[in-house]
Amino acid sequence: MIHDCIQAFSLPISLSGGADRREEIERRQRERQRQEERKQEFKTALLGEIDSLKRWAIYGTVIEKRLYEPFSDMWGCCINELQKAEYKLDILCTADQGAYRRMKPDVAAGLSSDRPQWLLDTLAILAEDVAFQATKEEIARIEKQRDFELRRQPGERRQQKRGEVRRKREQEDLQKMSDIDLIMLLENLIGGI
């Protein structure tokens, strides 16, 4: 009888609900496991890249000890490689506080997070150095979060903006009113006191 009702009303209910539910739970667990593995791969690649870039500090030693004549081709190459390594390390270690002020959103102030942009910049460095390659879906998800964070307005500013718009509209309405309408409005206000 229940089966007939399900078919008659085309209800999306499966009589083998337990099996479907188990499959869905197992699928979600596999997905979570895959995501955790990707996070671990990313962390391993990030730490490995940081260690690798720290080795480039030897160029600083070469420059300090003047092993090459200043402004020679080799000296210039050392300076160039050292600057690239320092730039990448600044990003990977989020030392550049100007570019990445908040790795977490400041909910109380309504300020967004710079973490999605940091992730995109970090993934670009890791891909360039062939340490880790994010999938298109992973990058798209991070870009979507970054775009959301960029469009997000701080709560107080949003409320102030609404108030300014309302006051401006009220001023425009008052300017459009004739003298007679203004006198009537004033009389109503005074009469209400």
Mean pLDDT of 27-35: 92
Print burial letters for 80-101: b (CB count within 10 Å at least 16), e (below 16).
eebeebeebbebbebeeeeebe
Which residues lie across from 106 on neighbouring strands? 111
Tokens of 37: 């593995």
The answer to whether 50 and 132 have CB atoms below 8 angstroms apart is: no
pLDDT of 115: 86
Instruction: Tell me the pLDDT band of 2, cut-offs 50, 70 and 90.
Output: low
Alpha helices in 9-135 (DSSP H): 17-54, 58-64, 73-92, 115-128
Helix (H) or strand (E) holding 181: helix 179-191
pLDDT of residue 184: 73
Could you give the CA distance from residue 106 to residue 138 in angstroms, rounded to a whole number?
Answer: 24
Confidence of residue 168 (pLDDT cuts 50, 70, 90): confident
147: pLDDT strictly greater than 50: yes
pLDDT tens digits, 179-189: 777 677 777 77
Q: How far apart are CA 18 and CA 186, in angstroms?
A: 72
Share above pLDDT 70 across residues of the chain, in percent, rounded to a whole number: 74
pTM for the full predicted model: 0.61
Residue 156: is its pLDDT beyond 50?
Answer: no
Task: Please write the tens of the pLDDT for every residue from 71-121.
Answer: 889 888 888 988 999 899 988 987 656 677 777 777 666 677 788 889 999
